[in-house]
Amino acid sequence: MNGSDLKICRVWMTVFISGLVLSGLTAIPLEWELGLLADWFGVRDGIGEGTTGLALWIGRVYEGLQDVSATHPFMAYGFDWLAFGHLMIALVMVGAWIDPVRNKWLFTFAKMACVLVIPWAFVFGAMRGIPVPWRLIDCSFGVLGLVPLILAERAAARMERAFPSAEECGAVPKSHES
């Protein structure tokens, strides 16, 4: 163990936290983002007769979101809360960035959340008629989230074995007693 484990842990936690923030913030301008995708796939002005695959799905989702936004704009409030949830989880994970040894339980929490994305996407995706390939994309976020968490957790475990207290590993400043 060298002094770089705290740095390694913080780099991987920064990757994980940044992913949460980015995925949360992208839930807010969803109609605009979907419009860009619809442009890219050539379905912004409607789904053509020969449209198939991903282009068909993007077009259907874009049309549905436009319809809901036009008639029931308050439904977008759910995306705002989705974004808020992502940002709050990211905020909680800052505890593992600050002191990964004392807050090692956060790694377990976040790994469980990443794993639970898979059954959640398959159960509710099936209920909502989401195509399997799209559900697999959703599942990939959970799987990809595991990578930085596992690497950060390993670095934190090395720190815990090497140092009897968080102050000694440099995760928190040493206490100054008067």
Give the C-alpha distances (Å, rounded to integers) separating 89 from 5, 83, 106, 153.
Answer: 23, 10, 10, 17
**Domain residue spans in the chain?**
5-160
Contact 86, 21 (CB under 8 A): yes
For residue 143, report the phi and psi dihedrals to the nearest 5 degrees. Answer: -65, -45
Q: What is the pLDDT of residues 18-45, one digit of tens each?
A: 999 999 999 999 999 999 999 999 999 8
SS3 167: helix
Give the C-alpha distances (Å, rounded to integers) separating 150 from 49, 108, 127.
Answer: 46, 9, 31
Q: What is the pLDDT of residues 46-83, one digit of tens each?
A: 888 888 888 999 999 999 999 999 999 999 999 999 99
* Mean pLDDT in residue range 15-19: 98
Q: How confident is the model at residue 172 (pLDDT cuts 50, 70, 90)?
A: low
d(CA 159, CA 106): 16
Q: What is the pLDDT of residues 129-163, one digit of tens each?
A: 999 999 999 999 999 999 999 999 999 999 999 97
Instruction: Give yes or no for residue 178 having a pLDDT over 50.
Output: no
d(CA 159, CA 7): 11
